[in-house]
């Protein structure tokens, strides 16, 4: 516990330096190096370490790790993991959720909805996910206007369903556990959602590189349940019974129910 507290102090010191630079660019923090003690930093949750590291680099701070030679490899691995673009897109998503959910008591409903929409649309490959969720053949057989209507409704639906999974949560915590290669140049990013007084929940992200950069293509709940597979089953049933217009109306209604505003 002592080491974790030390790591938090180090990270907070780094963040305070960065904030000082943001608020006063002429401050003495400009072009400075922040010495950080790795024996304490290494006990930080990976999510916290990466967030502090990205914040430091955003502010132009250089990090100097106070480590013995035997631990320099670990330091390099930590920095490399934080910089990996396929991991970074998941960290951006999780950082955003932490910020939005942590401040939701002071945010208006519409403001929270807008923030969540920007976060999901900036980290998820909505077009590709939508096509997979309804089936490629169905998607390709729709007109351009139908595809546009669907993608608009699907984006709202994804924002609402993702937010609903953290309903009532004020201070979520996530940890990145690693990554592995998947087919077609994709990656699977393994992470955990930490509950207070509950067992951690595995949340894995299938990510792929696109023209916009790395984006989330699917989410695996408990490490095995594909979010898109669940949606595909639901969507096929609604399309079959209600037709296209009824499907879009149902998806919009569900989004309004889960994420009003």
Within the chain, strands assigned E span 33-37, 62-66, 173-181, 187-194, 201-210, 213-221, 225-226
Going across the sheet that includes 225-226, the strands are 173-181, 187-194, 201-210, 213-221, 225-226
Interaxial angle between packed helices 109-123 and 85-102, expressed in degrees from 0 to 180 and rounded to the nearest 10: 170
Size of the chain, expressed as the number of residues it contains: 261
The arithmetic mean of pLDDT across residues 246-255, rounded, is 95
- The domain limits of the chain are 2-83, 88-258
pLDDT on residue 223: 76
Query: Where does the pLDDT of residue 55 fall: very low under 50, low under 70, confident under 90, or very high at 90 and above?
Result: low
Express each pLDDT in 170-217 by its tens digit: 777 888 888 999 998 899 999 998 877 678 889 999 999 988 899 999
**Residue 73: pLDDT over 60:** no
The arithmetic mean of pLDDT across residues 222-246, rounded, is 92
- Strand 173-181 with 62-66, pairing: unpaired
Residue 212: other Cβ atoms inside 10 A: 9
CA nearest neighbour of 100 among 46, 205, 171: 171
Express each pLDDT in 131-160 by its tens digit: 999 999 999 999 999 999 999 999 999 988
CA nearest neighbour of 35 among 13, 6, 61, 66: 66
Identify the weakest region by mean pLDDT among 21-25, 97-101, 116-120: 21-25
Interaxial angle between packed helices 227-258 and 126-134, expressed in degrees from 0 to 180 and rounded to the nearest 10: 110
**Any alpha helices (H) in 84-226, and if so which ranges?**
85-102, 109-123, 126-134, 136-141, 144-164
**Residue 111: pLDDT over 70:** yes
The hierarchical CATH code for the domain 88-258 is 3.10.450.710
- Predicted structure pTM score: 0.68
Query: Where does the pLDDT of residue 50 fall: very low under 50, low under 70, confident under 90, or very high at 90 and above?
Result: low
């Amino acid at each position: 516990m002592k080491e974790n507290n030390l790591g938090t102090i180090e990270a907070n010191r780094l963040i305070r330096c960065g904030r000082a630079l943001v608020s006063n660019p002429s401050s003495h923090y400009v072009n400075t190096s922040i010495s950080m003690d790795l024996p304490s930093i290494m006990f930080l949750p990976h999510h916290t370490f990466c967030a502090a590291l990205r914040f430091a680099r955003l502010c132009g701070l250089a990090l100097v790790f106070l480590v013995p030679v035997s631990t320099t490899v670990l330091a390099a691995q930590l920095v490399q993991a934080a910089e990996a673009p396929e991991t970074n897109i998941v960290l951006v998503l999780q950082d955003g959720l932490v910020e939005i959910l942590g401040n939701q008591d002071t945010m208006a409903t519409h403001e929270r909805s807008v923030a969540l929409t920007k976060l999901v649309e900036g980290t998820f490959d909505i077009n590709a996910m939508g096509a997979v969720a309804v089936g490629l053949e169905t998607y390709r057989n729709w007109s351009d206007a139908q595809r546009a209507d669907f993608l608009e409704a699907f984006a709202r639906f994804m924002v609402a369903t993702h937010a609903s999974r953290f309903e009532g949560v004020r201070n979520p915590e996530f940890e990145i556990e690693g990554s592995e290669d998947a087919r077609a140049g994709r990656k699977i990013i393994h992470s955990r959602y930490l509950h207070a007084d509950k067992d951690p929940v595995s949340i894995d992200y299938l990510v792929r590189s696109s023209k916009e950069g790395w984006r989330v293509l699917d989410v695996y709940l408990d490490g095995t349940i594909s979010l898109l597979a669940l949606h595909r089953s639901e969507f096929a049933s609604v399309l079959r019974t209600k037709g296209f217009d009824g499907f879009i109306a149902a998806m919009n209604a569900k989004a309004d129910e889960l994420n009003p505003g």
